[in-house]
Structure formats: C-alpha cells, structure tokens
Structure 1
Amino acid sequence: MSVDSMIAQMERWLGTGEPNLIQQWYRDRNGSAYAYNFPWCNATITRAAVDAGEYEAVCFGTDYAYTVAHAARFKAAGQWHAMTNGIKASGIRRGDVVFFDWGGSSEIGTIDHVGIVTGVSSDHRYVYTIEGNTARLCARRVRTVHEIAGFGRPKYKAAPKTTTASGSSSTSKRPQVSLAKLIKAFKTDPPKKGTPVSYPLVEVVENALVAERLLAKRYADGHAGTATRSAYTLLQERYGYRGADADGIPGMTSLKRLGKAHGFDVVA
C-alpha cells in the first residue's frame, strides 16, 4: 500500500453521481444521521483510505464526513500546512489531502470541501485533484491557490519493495519512460491511420500533457499523433524553448521535468 494505492482508489469512483454507494457505505458504518443525500466529499476520502489500506495514515482510524474535523485532526497531529505562502512554497504534492475554503481564507473553521492531490503543474499555478461531491460527481478538478485553505500530509506506507534482475531491491513503481522509444513513436506514429500503439508508455506522457492542460483527454490513447506532438510543442514553449528547439519531439531535459511533475522517470 502507498500513496499510489490511495490515488487508485479515488480514481475508481470517478464519474460517480448521487445518491451513491459511498453514501450508503458511510451510512451503514455511522448511522441514520447520514441519511438522504448528505455531503459526501470527505466520505469519499474515507472510503478510498479504507480500501487502499491507508485508513490510519489518511483518517487516523476515524471516519470523516465533516471536513473541518478532518483538517483539525491533521493539525493536532502536526501534519497540517496552511496555504499562506503560495503553491510552490507550500510544497503541496501528490497524495496530500487538500482542503478548500470558497471564501479564500486559510482558516480551518471555514473549510468547505476536500479532495486528494494527484499532481501540481510545472509552473506551480495549478493543483490537480480528484474530489467527491463536486458538481454532484466524483471528478478531476484543477484548483488555484485562492481556493485552497491548506492540506494535510498523510504518513503513507512505503511502496512494496520489488527485486530487480540483478537481485537488488527497489521501492520505485514509477513508470520508466524510454526517451529513445518515445522519440521513435513521435516520429513514426503521426502519419499512420487509426491509433497504433508503437510504444505503450506514450500514454503516460500524454496523460501528463492532459494534466498540464495542453492535450485533450480524448487524444491520450497511446498514439503519438499530431495532436500529441503539438501539445509537446506547447510544453516546450512553456519551458522557454523557441524555434527549432520547440519542435514537438521530446528531449531529455524537458521530459525529465515533465516526469518529475507527473510521476514517471526517464531513461535513455
């Protein structure tokens, strides 16, 4: 179990409307006070934490529906970070439990909503989340500093160790994107018809481009087509490349920067 397990369980509920099984599950555990269509954003966090095996880390062994109480528990444990210094300085990152105040304060007592952080944009302008009970759905959202009151940082379990071919152990389960294979796909896929997948990990990069709001989700299909290459050009320009250096073909420096922000590593 690990932060990735928590994210995976939140992703499992994407698209869920209301009333829903999360509400029913929480009601079965906590009684009739949670009857009818009660607000379920924090119940979603609780359910995901239980299913991910991270109930102690995320919820301190307590079911939460009330966001203020949950944030206060993080503060009591010394794991609360008020959003007073901006996204970059705060150090908010993937796996943090992020709390929102629509009034724009950083006060725990005025918190309205909660979600889980899946990533942060490379320019630190946006925080990417999954949230239950947002527009009556469980959905991905893009948030700005003005909406964030603060975040709790769970003490997640370490990822399970895996043994490499050489016999050494590793705790990394991050995708390993080959730059050489990616470049080949970017050069050979666009002229082809349909959606050939010449290198499966193209989709990892495409999903990062979607998170950066440079590529439409429907194009994140593993086919490094013209839309994907155009999106990568925009990324290069965002990173300060110009002219021939912003040709839409990934390079080691830009790809590593993208991977650092979105959870994958780069090999030659």
Structure 2
Amino acid sequence: MSVDGMIKAMERWIGTGEPNTVQEWYRQRNGAAYNYNFPWCNAMVTRAAVESGEYAAVCFGTDYAYTVAHAQRFKEAGQWTAMTNGIAGSGIRRGDIVFFDWDGSSEIGRIDHVGIVTSVSGGYVYTIEGNTANVCARRVRNVHEIAGFGRPKYKPVAPTAGSGSGSKLPQVSLAKLITAAKTDPPKKGTPVSYAGVAIVEKALVAEKLLSAGYADGHWGTATLSAYSLYQQRLGFHGTQPGGDADGRPGKTTLTRLGKAHGFTVTA
C-alpha cells in the first residue's frame, strides 16, 4: 500500500480516545502484561502498519508498544537518523516514523513518544500521533521535541491498470484549475469552466472530502472547501485567500492527488 496507505490507516483513528480498541487489540496479541490502560502511541503505529500492509516495513514484523525498542530496531537496521542536524538538514519527510524526547535529547534511550510524519514545512513537522493528550490527533512539532526518526522501506506503489507505457493518464492543467478556483465560486448554477475540474473533484470524492452531489465540474465553494481540507491533510495551513490551504490548488498538493488517483499535472 506504500506510505500513503500507512498514513491513511493512521488517519482513520483520529479522534479515538481511551481506553480503546487499539489497546484491546494489542492486549489480545501480546497478553496479560497489557491488562491496563497502557501508553498506546506505539501500539497505534503497530495497528496502522498491520492495517496498511506495511507491518514488515514499519515494525519489522514485531508488535511494538515500547518506543525505545522500536527506535533501536530502526537503528539496528541502518534506518535511523538522530535529530542532530535540524529539520532541513536531517531530511525528515512524509512517512517517516518520528520519535520524541520531551527533554530535547536525541538519545534513543530517552524517547517518550512516537508518531508518523504527514508533511514538513519550514521548521515544522506535521504528524499524526496516538495517545497525545489521550487521543489520536494531528500535531505540529518542532526540532526541539524530536529525538530522531526511522525510515521504513515501504512497498513501491503498484502501477494502476492501464498505466503501462502504451497508455496515457488524464492530464490536468494547474493554471486552468487555479483560474477556475478564482472565478467559479461567485458564479451561480453549475458552469463547467474547465473539464479538468471534474477529474479533481472525482479524486476529492474518493478522499471522502467532497460530497458526490457537488462533483459538478464547477470549482464552487464546496470544492474550494474540500480542496482546502485536502491541503490541510497534507500539513498546509492558513485558509484565508493566498494561504497555503485556501482551497486553490498548488503544484505539490495537486501532484500528490494525481499520483493517488490516476491523473498527471501539467503547467
């Protein structure tokens, strides 16, 4: 399923409090030692890895509740990077399993917590974490909280049917989409200002961000809102006009949406 599958598996648990079915699931797999309201941040990562088919990549085929042991396993596999060179210098990226020490060290033995990286922007790392303030939630972290990260060897994305060298994926123009996003919302009815809008709307419906009834080829307020939610899902922020998550497509988010839903992006 690849990195996107792992992140989607984590997203499905957002809002989960405690005690919860992840703890019960882990208890059933690992015995009476977990017959209490144990810290479940790493159990959450383990559960998502199993659900997404990335158990071998993320957990090396082993259930983890103890964050120190999980980080140490990444180090033993040569897949560990200590956070000693800053956010940009470390190369931390989407899909990395990120470990935290609230005292600010980069020592594996002092790790307190774990999550998964959804995106990186400037000096901030955007994550999904279980057992953060007793729920599974999105968080924004800085370099001082991060001890380091493990980089799973995710499965490559399988080619979709008909995506061989003899076939062409639909193309969507970024410039024309931006124009539609600027001009469509004030219009009434369902004008089709650019046919590529319908392709993107179909992808937003598949992401469960847009109701199918609003997938009408018109980049109206519903589509604008849905795309803003997609931008925020990838870690962008600021929903005012001109903000990173204002509902107007950008190259990074549109390219990622296209890779997930079978279209390519042109200028």
TM-score w.r.t. the length of structure 2 is 0.77
Aligned 8 A contact 1:79 1:154 in 2: yes
Partner amino acid, structure 2, of 1:208:
Q
Counting only pairs closer than 5 Å after superposition, residues 85-100 of structure 1 correspond to structure 2 as: 85-100=85-100
* 1:256 aligned to which of 235, 251, 254: 251
**Any stretches of 5+ residues in structure 2 without a counterpart?**
190-209
**How far did 1:188 drift?**
1.7
**How far did 1:208 drift?**
1.9
**How far did 1:36 drift?**
1.6
What is residue 266 of structure 2 aligned with on the other side? 267
Aligned 8 A contact 1:9 1:52 in 2: yes
**How far did 1:163 drift?**
4.1
Q: Indicate the SS of the match to 1:19.
A: coil
What is residue 4 of structure 2 aligned with on the other side? 4
In structure 2, the CA distance between the partners of 1:180 and 1:8, relative to structure 1 (3 Å rule), is same
Aligned 8 A contact 2:124 2:142 in 1: yes
Distance in 2 (alpha carbons) for counterparts of 1:56 and 1:177: 38
Deviations 1:26-65 (A, max 9, x none): 0000001111210000000000001111111000010000
Deviations 1:91-115 (A, max 9, x none): 1111000000000010000000000
Aligned 8 A contact 2:258 2:265 in 1: no
What is residue 123 of structure 2 aligned with on the other side? 125
What is residue 37 of structure 1 aligned with on the other side? 37
**How far did 1:157 drift?**
0.4
Distance in 2 (alpha carbons) for counterparts of 1:112 and 1:176: 44
Is 1:186 the equivalent of 2:182? yes
TM-score w.r.t. the length of structure 1 is 0.76
In structure 2, the CA distance between the partners of 1:250 and 1:9, relative to structure 1 (3 Å rule), is closer
Distance in 1 (alpha carbons) for counterparts of 2:148 and 2:182: 39
Counting only pairs closer than 5 Å after superposition, residues 1-268 of structure 1 correspond to structure 2 as: 1-121=1-121, 124-164=122-162, 167-168=165-166, 178-190=174-186, 198-199=218-219, 202=224, 203-204=226-227, 206-208=229-231, 211-215=235-239, 227=240, 230=241, 233-235=242-244, 255-256=250-251, 266-268=265-267
Partner amino acid, structure 1, of 2:133:
A
Identity of aligned residues (%): 58
Q: Indicate the SS of the match to 1:162.
A: coil
**RMSD, aligned CA:** 3.1
In structure 2, the CA distance between the partners of 1:166 and 1:107, relative to structure 1 (3 Å rule), is closer
**How far did 1:177 drift?**
6.8
**How far did 1:209 drift?**
5.1
